[in-house]
Amino acid sequence: MIPFVPARHCGPARSVDLIRLIVIHTMEAPEKPTTARAVAYWFAGPTAPQASAHYCVDAAETIQCVADDVVAWGAPGANRVGIHIEHAGYASQGAAGWADEYSQQMLIRSALLVADLSMRYGIPLERRTVAELADPMAKGLCGHVDITNARNGGKGHTDPGPDFPWDEFLRMVADAQRATDPDLVAVSDGDAGEPS
């Protein structure tokens, strides 16, 4: 089971039938084995920002902060319809930064989660463009930056950054759904989305 550390700021409740997007974020925090837990506790703490995400992922752990049937305050314009996943690291990472061992392990862990969520909520494994996200009924994956550009006039966040390896990540998610990659199976946390 994925550990659950409840975020201080989130809500309201929603029907899971509304979920149409999986939104990829970066935590803007160092790539360390404790980053997911540290950010989850930050979202939960007394000085928490007016922000939250459904999940925080690093190379060692996945933490859930908001139940799937509750709105996370992750990206205005996609909060009511999105599942928000924070990743250790920075939007400024270049391709080499995303290709290092830490990031690869984190992306594998995230791919397992996204594979489960996309199957559970009928979300296609396709990255949506800014133009496509102008349609409020668009379904798929996107970055926070894409929501910023499609629904918030280009003012806001730029994560997960221009060098996030979208093609590779989507392949990892597809492999996880087929359960063909032993490396993916090895880092599985079990059933995603259920608070422990």
Q: Is the pTM of this model over 0.85?
A: yes
116 domain-assigned: yes
34 domain-assigned: yes
192 domain-assigned: no
CATH number for the domain that contains residue 165: 3.40.80.10
- Counting the structural domains of the chain, the total is 1
Q: Name residues whose C-beta falls within 8 Å of residue 92's C-beta, 6 or more positions apart in sequence.
A: 161
The side-by-side arrangement of strands in the sheet containing 21-26 is: 62-64, 55-57, 82-87, 21-26, 140-143
Reported as a single tens digit per residue, the pLDDT across 175-188 is 999 875 455 544 54
Reported as a single tens digit per residue, the pLDDT across 65-83 is 999 999 999 999 999 999 9
What does the pLDDT read at residue 194? Answer: 36
121 domain-assigned: yes
5 and 86 Cβ atoms separated by less than 8 Å: no
193 domain-assigned: no
191 domain-assigned: no
What does the pLDDT read at residue 4? Answer: 98
Range of the structural domain that residue 179 is part of: 10-186
195 domain-assigned: no
5 domain-assigned: no
